[in-house]
Amino acid sequence: MAFRLIATTKTSKTEGGHTPPNNTLVKKLYIKTYGCQMNVYDSERMAEVLSPLGFVVTDTPADADMVILNTCHIRERAAEKVYSEIGRLNKIREKKIENGGARSILAVTGCVAQAEGEQMLSRAPHLDMVFGPQTYHRLPQMIAEAARKGGQVLDTEFPVESKFDLLDVPRTLDGASAFLTVQEGCDKFCTYCVVPYTRGAESSRPVNSIMAEANELATAGAKEITLVGQNVNAYHGIGADGEVHGLASLIKAVADIDTVKRVRYITSYPAEVDDDLIAAHRDIEKLMPYLHLPIQSGSDKILKAMNRRHNAAQYRALAEKIMATRPDMALSSDFIVGFPGETERDFEDTCDIVRDVGFVQSYSFVFSPRPGTPAAMMEEQIDERVKSERLARLQKLLNENTLRFNEQSIGKTMEVLFDRRGKKPGQLVGRSPYMQAVVVEANDELMNQIASVKITNGYDNSLLGELTANKNNERFCA
Ligand code: SAH
Ligand code: SF4
Ligand code: F3S
């Protein structure tokens, strides 16, 4: 059997079964997503897998027939939130039943589901289903099984088959920007990180399968495609020619799709950045001049203890090489402060590299000891107060960098992809090549379009701009 059914005394009245789409009742699906871009991608795919069963996505859990919580295990706070959220969603379900509604299916997936599995079913007995990120192609069978037998369904295997080969549902798209998972899992084993355990070993999808999906996304209206992987630049997929292709070659193939105007990739591991990838930033115009390349710390001692396989000098040299490829290139990073053994001097090394490299946007976190990871067991854990105080200092520095970059954008003309309405009527918000939020006054025709914008103001978290006066922009003017 593909998955295990854990019998409980409770009987489930859930509906299920794979009925042909033309005579299916419309059912509502609510998915809440935590964590990284890969989880966002997985959530979209789950909705697509369930669509032939008659499920349509709703944005309120109250009227849903199925509720899926797609979870993240990366830091303690993210993982702990899951149980309170399950409790909240269960209360909403009980209320629905009290009001005469059908009992909805409550399911948890993602990295907490993968890490905790059966334990999660006993800690949250009102859950119907717990499944990992590698098995959601089996969702229709899981639903049928739950309906047939009652009880809780558990499926946290790392199956031999690849979900990508079995997800034979077409891609759909809401908007003009899409994530496309090309590589999954991680063999780097940074000592603080749960990803190698929750996502398994590194594996790359074949080029053909990715390109088929990229073309589907383009047909569905994607103007921007972000190639996603836990170590996306470790990508090494088999091409139709039988050769192994790296990320640069894949980027080129996606950029060759005429209607795709922007290509991005996330997240990269510094030691895996090769010359082909650097050259891609020089040669492929559609590849955005922006690279998220997490360094984590500026201290060699800490980087070694983290098992990052690069030291600060190597990172600096790499950053310089990348920045030299295009005059408009910019870098962003992730940081962990308060890693075990981090002294004030080590922390200062991190601040120094921030000042020198000048990351234009960053995510920073206090070290969170995760069960089963080597760093959680290390001596010299840092006091929470010290961690928070260092985080505040680092964030001040990082925010200064971002503000400086945003202010330097004033007067520049940028191509912006518009994807949402602004706070004020008549405003639309889009993203610059550097993921900055850009607000302009324009009509709704501009939604999901790329237009040229002159930046007039730069703030902490956004830019203000005006559509440039040109023929193309005339139709978007408010
Ligand atoms: N694969 C990516 C990162 C995935 S996790 C990479 O290697 O860069 C996203 C970020 O979460 C990491 O870059 C790191 O900064 C942070 N992170 C991971 N584990 C953490 C932990 N135990 N405590 C605090 N932050 C952590
Ligand atoms: Fe985690 Fe390190 Fe792998 Fe990134 S490279 S996913 S931080 S183990
Ligand atoms: Fe979180 Fe899993 Fe992504 S732990 S960051 S959802 S790979």
HEC readout, the chain: CCCEEECCCCCCCCCCCCCCHHHCCCEEEEEEECCCHHHHHHHHHHHHHHHHHCEEECCCHHHCCEEEEEECCCCHHHHHHHHHHHHHHHHHHHHHHHCCCCCCEEEEEHHHHHHHCHHHHHHCCCCCEEECCCCHHHHHHHHHHHHHHCCEEEECCCCCCCHHHHCCCCCCCCCCEEEEECEECCCCCCCCCCHHHHCCCCEECCHHHHHHHHHHHHHCCCCEEEEECCCHHHCCEECCCCCEECHHHHHHHHHCCCCCCEEEEECCCHHHCCHHHHHHHHHCCCECCEEECCCECCCHHHHHHCCCCCCHHHHHHHHHHHHCCCCCCEEEEEEEECCCCCCHHHHHHHHHHHHHHCCCEEEEEECCCCCCCHHHHCCCCCCHHHHHHHHHHHHHHHHHHHHHHHHHCCCCEEEEEEEEECCCCCEEEEECCCCCEEEEECCHHHCCCEEEEEEEEECCCEEEEEECCCCCCHHHCC
Tens of pLDDT along 12-68? 333 333 334 555 678 999 999 999 999 999 999 999 999 999 999 999 999 999 999
pTM of structure? 0.93
The CATH code for residues 289-407 is 3.30.750.200
In CATH terms, the superfamily for domain 6-155 is Methylthiotransferase, N-terminal domain (3.40.50.12160)
362 lines ligand 3 (CB under 6 A): no
pLDDT > 70: what percent of the chain?
A: 95
Q: Mind listing the pLDDT tens digit for each residue in 253-266?
A: 999 999 999 999 99
Residue range 180-214, pLDDT digits in tens? 999 999 999 999 999 999 999 999 999 999 999 99
Asked whether the predicted pLDDT for residue 178 surpasses 80, the reply is: yes
The minimum-distance atom of ligand 3 relative to the CA of 34 is 6
Is residue 193 within 6 Å of ligand 2 at its C-beta?
yes
Provide the pLDDT for residue 441: 96
Give the Å distance between the CA of 39 and the centre of ligand 3. 7
Closest ligand 1 atom to 364 CA:
15
Select 170-287's CATH number: 3.30.750.210, 3.30.70.270, 3.90.800.10, 3.40.640.10.
3.30.750.210
Q: Which of 31, 32, 36 to mutate to test the pocket of ligand 3 (most atoms within 8 A of CB)?
A: 36
Output 472 or 234, whichever has higher pLDDT: 234
CA of residue 254 to ligand 2 center, whole Å? 25
Q: Tell me the domain boundaries of the chain.
A: 6-155, 170-287, 289-407, 413-474
64-105 tens-digit pLDDT: 999 999 999 999 988 888 999 999 999 999 999 999 999 999
Measured from the Cα of 370, ligand 1's closest atom is 22
Q: How high is the pLDDT of residue 23?
A: 52
Atom of ligand 2 nearest to the CA of 187: 3
Residue 6: is its pLDDT beyond 50? no
Q: Is the CB of 61 under 6 A from ligand 1?
A: no
Q: Is 195 in the pocket of ligand 3 (CB under 6 A)?
A: yes
Q: Which of ligand 1's atoms lies nearest the C-alpha of 193?
A: 19
In short, whether 368's Cβ falls inside 6 Å of ligand 1 is: yes
Would you state the pLDDT for residue 163?
87
Which has the minimum average pLDDT: 112-121, 155-164, 313-322, 449-458? 155-164
pLDDT of residue 22: 52
Q: How far is the CA of 267 from the centre of ligand 2 (A)?
A: 9
If one compares 414 and 165, the residue with the highest pLDDT of the two is 414
* 230 pocket-lining for ligand 2 (C-beta < 6 Å): yes
Superfamily for the 413-474 domain: Nucleic acid-binding proteins (2.40.50.140)
pLDDT tens per residue, range 378-388 = 999 999 999 99
Least distant ligand from the CA of 267: 1
Asked if pLDDT for residue 10 goes beyond 60, the answer is: no
For residue 401, the CA-to-ligand 1 centroid distance in Å is 21
* pLDDT value, residue 168: 80
| Closest atom of ligand 2 relative to the 231 alpha carbon | 5
Quick check: 376 pLDDT over 60? yes
Q: What is the mean pLDDT of the chain?
A: 92
pLDDT tens profile 424-444: 999 999 999 999 999 999 999
- Mean pLDDT across 148-175: 86
For a mutational test of ligand 3's pocket, the pick from 73, 199, 368, i.e. the residue with the most ligand atoms closer than 8 A to its C-beta, is 73
Q: Do domains 6-155 and 413-474 have the same CATH topology?
A: no
